[in-house]
Amino acid sequence: MTPRSKPANLRFRLYTVLMVLGLASTALVVRAVDLQVVRKDFYQDEGDARYLRDIPIQVSRGTIFDRNGEPLAVSTPVESIWGNPQQLLANPEQLPKLAAALGVSNAELTERLVQRKDKEFLYLKRQLDPDAARELLDLEIPGIASERAFRRYYPSGEVLAHALGITNIDDRGQEGLELAFDDWLAGKPGLKRVIRDRLGHVVENVEMLREAQPGRDLVTTLDRRIQYLAYRELKAAIAEHDASSGSMVILDVSNGEVLAMVNQPSFNPNSRISINPAFRRNRAVTDVIEPGSTMKPFTIAAALESGQWKPTTAIDTTPGTLQLAGGYTIRDFRNYGVINLTRVITKSSNVGAAKIASSLSSEHMYDVFHRFGFGEVSGCGFPGESPGFLPISKSWGPVEKATISYGYGLSVTPMQLAQAYAALANGGRLRKPGFVKGALNPDVAVIDPQIAQSVRAMLETVISPEGSGLAAAVPNYRVAGKTGTSRRAAGGGYELRYVSMFAGMVPATNPRLVGVVVINDPGQGKGAYYGGLVSAPVFSKVMSNALRLLDVAPDNVQHWYAGGPDAGHPIGPASAPPVYPPDQPNYQEAVPQ
């Protein structure tokens, strides 16, 4: 007989169920209180962190203008595509499509995402054209979005590359005026708080945290037209003479403003791909040269200031050589015999310059050279500017003093040389070269105005059939200047590589412009290399057009041979009898062997 089952305890079961439900309800209430009251701030922050974002408001970099209001550097809007690595890796089927749109392999994209898998932000492609960015976003791939940015564009390309410099991908100045005035041009990005959806799209602007301050514009002293002239003629001369590089600087004598500064070889600042770092170097302010005969005017200025010499004082350069202690020999191109101080400049006599220097104290020569700005930066504020090298006077022996007098044993930049010649052109008053139009730029007296005028008159004789700079003549203008040819130093001596130079001012009666042309390695040791043949013609071609553009009145109206000024040489005013230049102008200069 089966035992009888005990009756079910329904009351106990009911209480048990009720107790469990009560405990569960209590737990839910406690959890709700914990989430909504006790730890409300923590979870609110966690939620905001997933949807609230503080994002920068990009600002446009200031525009750089030339002195006439022509834009030289402008910022154009672009888009940068970014992605959330975590979301993208969670949708691996979308990666091949995204990789194809970005122009990379799927493996490369996946590797980048895996490397940043613990992050929520990764730039995928920057500085895209807005239309291209829109095509990519239209793929609607989860985890990618875009942000507005700006890219620098340089309308003049290579012509102004070294003067302006470049910016990096974050639109910050890296070289040139872009770096020198980066704080002025860059502005300050703003900051705003937004809500983003799960795809990274902004769905609501919450608040403005910081107002954006756009960059300020910069009006420079550069003249785009003159810059182009200098670029074109320098590039043509380097190609014609098979030279390795070169520079040209043009200053406005009246205020020290830099109207043009060009270098070759140059580069395209709009394309940052495969730019040779050597091409980006601004040789006009960073590279130094031994100035050769272009230094002689300052030796003459020191001689005139000493009171021992006058422009007509005679000096015997016979027999065309000068033997110094230690077996060092100074040579002229030929024996010029007895000449005066002016003819030392006209004929570019090394022997004459050395004999003049021997009569002066080293301290006095050093002081004059230093007053003209040699041995220190010009003060133009250009990044990376070299101070050159002017040895202290205590280190000068007889040989050092002699070689320094005609431009060896010291080094200068093309900008320093232009600054010094501008001081001669400005009546002996020196100004710092400037790049900001209208900036206050006081001058300082470095030599007596009468001495400066005397030296300018001597320099005019160089631009004649008797001098070495006839090719620097400018139609209808009087020119004062000096050619220079120096050998490159190497291994404690000099090699058969040359630097050709011309430094001059025009109009000579009341100088407005000063120009310095430096061409390195002309002829590569085989062809023409004298400054009068290589650099002087560049000065002539650039200045003849620059004076016309600036509407500078002629000071020497002349007639020219048939074929135009580029085909012949000046023959003097119409009222004067013709003076025909010799078949072989005296371009040659003495270059130490």
Nearest to 411 by CA among 392, 387, 380, 432: 387
Catalytic residues: 293
pLDDT digits (tens, 9 = 90+) for 408-464: 999 999 999 999 999 999 999 999 999 999 999 999 999 999 999 999 999 999 999
The fold of 224-268+280-549 is Beta-lactamase (3.40.710)
Question: How far is residue 407's CA from residue 105's CA, in Å, rounded to a whole number?
Answer: 59
Confidence check: pLDDT of 201 > 80: no
pLDDT digits (tens, 9 = 90+) for 536-564: 999 999 999 999 999 999 998 864 433 33
Average pLDDT over residues 237-244: 94
The encoded tokens of residue 485 equal: 């040819």
Confidence check: pLDDT of 217 > 70: yes
- Structurally, what CATH architecture does the domain formed by 54-89+122-219 represent? Alpha-Beta Complex (3.90)
Q: What is the location of CATH 3.90.1310.10 in the chain? A: 54-89+122-219
Confidence check: pLDDT of 47 > 70: no
> What's phi and psi for 73, nearest 5 deg?
-150, 125
Cα dihedral 304, 310, 313, 316 in deg (nearest 10): 10
Averaged pLDDT of the chain:
85
- How many other CB atoms sit within 10 Å of the CB of residue 567? 9
Three-state DSSP at 26 gives helix
Q: What is the location of CATH 3.40.710.10 in the chain? A: 224-268+280-549
CB 299 within 8 A of CB 357: yes
pLDDT digits (tens, 9 = 90+) for 327-367: 889 999 899 999 999 999 999 999 999 999 999 999 999 99
Average pLDDT over residues 109-128: 82
Query: Residue type for 584, please?
Result: Q
Query: Taking the model in full, what pTM does it have?
Result: 0.82
Q: With bands split at pLDDT 50, 70 and 90, how would you rate the model's confidence at 573?
A: very low
